[in-house]
Amino acid sequence: MKALGIITEYNPFHNGHLYHLRKSLKTTDADYTICVMSGNFVQRGNPAIIDKWNRVKMALEAGIDLVLELPIAYALRSAEYFAYGGVQLLNQTGIVDKMVFGSELGEIEPLIEISEILADEPTELSNLIQEELDKGVSFPKARAEALSIYIPNLDTTLSTAKVKKTINNPNNILGIEYIKALIQTNSQIKPLTIKRKGADYHQTKIKGKITSATAIRNTILKDQSLQDIKELLPSYSFDILKENIRLNKGPIDLENFELPILTILRRTSPSTLKEIEDVTGGLENRIKDAANQATSLLELIDLIKTKRFTQTRIQRILLHLLLGLNKSTLKGFDKAGGPQYLRILGFSKKGQKILKTMKETSKLPLINRVANHYKSAYPADSLKAKMLAMEVKATNIYSLAYNNPKYRQGGQDYTQPLILKN
């Protein structure tokens, strides 16, 4: 059984994702595809534009065989932890032998070379990173600059220009984190990369038939008729998205949570804010001051962000606060090896064969019905129960953003059936 692993968000599934999937299958000659997908909140600090079950439908229609959920404890964190959580889930299936990710570079060897250095970060490099951080820049920029200084002094074919070009591109960075996680977990999974096709990751406006998910989401939020994006998504993906908007179950955006976030911030003390991951260097006071001054979410973020504290980082902090994710609990999961279970969101007929094999090979419990496991299988204070409880809470809060009140009921992680494709 040759199984391909993909870590993704599909927010929403578009032509670029379809290109990546088809190219990955051709490159690996895989028999089966397992996708680890973020749930209702995604890595850049936003709610997903439509819920996780409808995005699972998109993935299965595209040809994915099995969709596993990346727990919120990893889906809504920095690239390092997002990658670690996804890789650990693929590791624990016991059947994935290759994973493929998209990158701006499209070459695996330079990414591996940089990953090997970062996986066992030498003191000299750590010191260089700290020197850059002391200049007030963000961690990604500090690390990129430090690497461009450090690596060319080694016995390597990587030039300063090559390092800078590689480490300053978002998909390259995420790819490096995937490989680093594979190294640190002694994984047997082989990493491969495919050069990204079409618009840049940060592209905010539509450009060509393969464009960024950001541009697609921006267009949807401005014009829910969807006419401008019809050619940018496979027909099944477009139809699912259109139906959710017709039902007033989307599109969901961070601004849907504007008042709850401002309310929580205004009643939260700086000392409590310090318990949220990534709140460092006195940021708690800056957040608190901004919360009392701002009258909107956009104004709040604008008042907080700096060169060091990026908008994405701030948005993740705000959502951690909204969802009740605190630093100590997240670190507890990390120390315990990451995700504590393999939660199945959906599968195809071929996916049934994968699950049958995984019952023998998986090193983590398989969850297909949350009620069965959360209510009876785990002690209430176990890490498994805590991680699952976070997921239930995240969905409960996400559902409050629906314009149609009929869909706002809580407990949907208990009642929503698996998504099956014949």
Binding site residues for ATP, as ranges? Answer: 7-20, 102, 171, 196
Sort 154 into a burial class: Cβ within 10 Å, 0-12 / 13-18 / 19+.
exposed
Structure tokens at 182: 């594979």
Instruction: Tell me which DSSP letter residue 330 carries.
Output: H
| 272 contacts 325 by C-beta, under 8 angstroms | no
> Closest by alpha carbon to 56, among 74, 69, 43?
69
Q: Who contacts 120 (Cβ-Cβ below 8 Å, separation ≥6)? A: none
Helix/strand/coil for 267:
helix
Annotated binding site: 7-20, 102, 171, 196
* Bridge partners, residue 342, by sequence: 366
Structure tokens at 377: 């299988």
| Dist. CA 99–CA 27, nearest whole Å | 11
Structure tokens at 117: 């250095």
| Dist. CA 260–CA 262, nearest whole Å | 6
Instruction: Tell me which DSSP letter residue 46 carries.
Output: E
Query: Which residue reads 């002690």 in tokens?
Result: 379
Query: Which residue reads 């829910």 in tokens?
Result: 224
